[in-house]
Structure formats: structure tokens, C-alpha cells
Structure 1
Amino acid sequence: MALIRWEPFREIERWEPWREMESLQQRMNRLFERLMPDGERALSFGVPAAEMEETDSEIHLKLEVPGLEAKDLNVEVTADSVSISGERKSETKTEGKGVTRSEFYYGKFERTIPLPAHIQTDKVQAEYKNGILNLTLPKTEEEKHKVVKVNVG
């Protein structure tokens, strides 16, 4: 004969998945901090954010690259893509044995953005102000007048 043990005052455990995810994220952050040399960060996180707008005659591309001067940026344009690269250099100098924590990303970065239409590479205009790079990319004449016939079945 089997005995059943009844525990009327046993505490119910509540499962909190978000707390477990946060704990896992903290442990992963500590692991990566131990693996990377002081002052270096995972450079893939420092890729510039982009925003693109297309009109009938041109493409406007806006890239966010704060903390850099225009001379530190390398922008290359082909008929169907834009590549931007540069390097964020650390300016902090720690003297003594203090601890510095930083969420800034330093090092080289590069991003290539495919364009939805062919552009005139010799007529590209660029403006850099307050950490935002604005590119005006005029479309080729063929792209401006391009009409696509759609068959409806």
C-alpha cells in the first residue's frame, strides 16, 4: 500500500521568465567583459544606424555617426551601394588604479548599404553636421523614367 504525503502549507514557486532572462543577460555581459581586453568593445555593436528615403529623382541617406569629425569618415559610393567606414578613438586617459566603466564603443567600423536604384556617382552630395551624415544620391536618368508593366491575370 502506497502512502501519499500531503503538505498543506508548502509554498508555491512563481515562475518569472523575464527575471530569468535578465539574469542570463547579466551573466553573459560579465562573461564578455572578462573576455575582452580593457577599453575594447565588440565593434559590431558600433555600426552606424541608417535611414533611407527614396523620391522619384533621388535617394536620401542619413547615417548616425556621433563623436567623429568629417575627416575621420570614409564614404565610398558605387552605382548600387554606399559604404561608410571610420574609427572611433578613445580619448579617456586613466591615471592610477581606478576603475573606468564605459558604454561607448571604440574602434573601427564599416557598413555597406545596398541602394534600391542605380545612382549617378559623380553627382552625390554629402553634408555632415552634429553627428549626422546626410547623403543626396541622384538617380540615373534610366531609373527616373523607369516604368514597370504589371500583368494582371
Structure 2
Amino acid sequence: MLMSKQFQSLRQQIDLLFENLIREQPQLSLVSSMDTPWIPAIELQETETELCLKAQLPGIAPNELDIQVSENAVFLSGEHRESKQTDKQGIFRSEFHYGQFKRVVPLPIPIQRERVTAEMSGGLLTLTMPKATPVVPNLIKVSLIASDPKA
């Protein structure tokens, strides 16, 4: 019980510190740093014939996006550029993600990379990736010749 009161007191002191800081610095900008790396959220679904990868990329123009596909992974990279503001007031809070990103998405099964299609709509990238035809292992029977253990 004593610990609980100590934590509550500590929390109140921290809250008061931040309130005073903001009151003393009315022009304090809470804009997120452009140096903070970010990774777009993805969703990977499988159907009988294909894999479908969706990536949330709001505010990114298609010409600022690089998509590369191998047989077993998707490589996404790009940049969300911050718009320059002309008014003198500025932004007090922004939770938008700006800057460059890179993401590698491993695929659970091989795909036909030559047949991948991409579509971008409303900040959502959709890659449709047909599954590779399964390779049937070609087994060969090996004959064993018994040797004479006395030789």
C-alpha cells in the first residue's frame, strides 16, 4: 500500500512537470521527428492460388515507392515527404510519419515473381502474387551392392 501511494505521488509530480513545461513554452512543438524510422503496417493473406500483400502507405505517391519481389520475399521502400507550411503559426502536434522507410516481408511459400501485380488506392498498396507451382521431388532409387566383409 505504501508503494502505491509513492507511485501515485511520483505520477502526480511528473504530470505537474509536463504541465508547467507546456505552460512556460507555449510555442513548444510536439511534432514528431523526421529522423524517427517508421515501418508501414502490412497484411498478408493466402488463397488457393495466390498470396495477397496489403501495405498501409498513406500520403506516399506511387513514384516515391520502390517495390521489388523475389521468389520468397517482398522488399518495400519509399519516402513520405513532409509538406512545407507557409503560415507562421506552425503545428503544435503531429502524429504523421515522415521520412524514409524500408521493409522486407518474407513470404511463407514461393511465388511466381514475373506475374506479380501491384495496385495503389487510397493509401493502400495491394500486391497480388500467384503461387509458384509446386516442384515434385524427383526421387531416384539407388541400388546397394553388398560387399564381402572378409575382403
Give TM-score, length-normalised by structure 2: 0.66
Alignment map for 1:4-153 (pairs within 5 Å):
14=5, 20=11, 40-44=33-37, 46-96=38-88, 98-101=89-92, 102-142=94-134
Q: Which amino acid aligns with 1:73?
A: L
In 2: Cα distance, 1:56 partner to 1:64 partner: 24
Alpha-carbon distance in 2 for matches of 1:114, 1:85: 15
For the residues of structure 2 that align with 1:137 and 1:48, how far apart are their CA atoms?
Answer: 19
3-state SS of paired residue (2:101): strand
In structure 2, what is the Cα distance between the partners aligned to 1:90 and 1:41?
A: 8
- The CA deviation at 1:92 is 2.8
Query: Which runs of 5 or more structure 1 residues have no equivalent in the other structure?
Result: 1-11, 31-37, 147-153
Counterpart contact for 1:43–1:108, Cα < 8 Å: no
C-alpha change, 1:82 and 1:70, in structure 2 (3 Å) is: same
Query: Which of structures 1 and 2 has the bigger CA Rg?
Result: 2
CA–CA distance in structure 2, aligned partners of residues 13 and 81 of structure 1: 49
- Rounded Cα–Cα distance in structure 1 between residues aligned with 2:132 and 2:95: 42
> Matched residue pairs, number?
120
TM superposition shift of 1:69:
1.6
Return the alpha-carbon distance in structure 2 between the equivalents of residues 128 and 95 of structure 1: 31
Per the TM alignment, residue 95 of structure 1 is displaced from its structure 2 partner at its CA by 4.9
Task: Indicate if the aligned counterparts of 2:42 and 2:54 stay in contact, CA closer than 8 A.
Answer: yes
Gaps of at least 5 residues in structure 2 are 22-30, 138-151
TM-score w.r.t. structure 1 length?
0.65
**% identity of equivalent residues:** 32
Q: Cα deviation per residue 1:35-60 (whole Å; 9 max; x = unaligned)?
A: xxx7733533x211000111222101
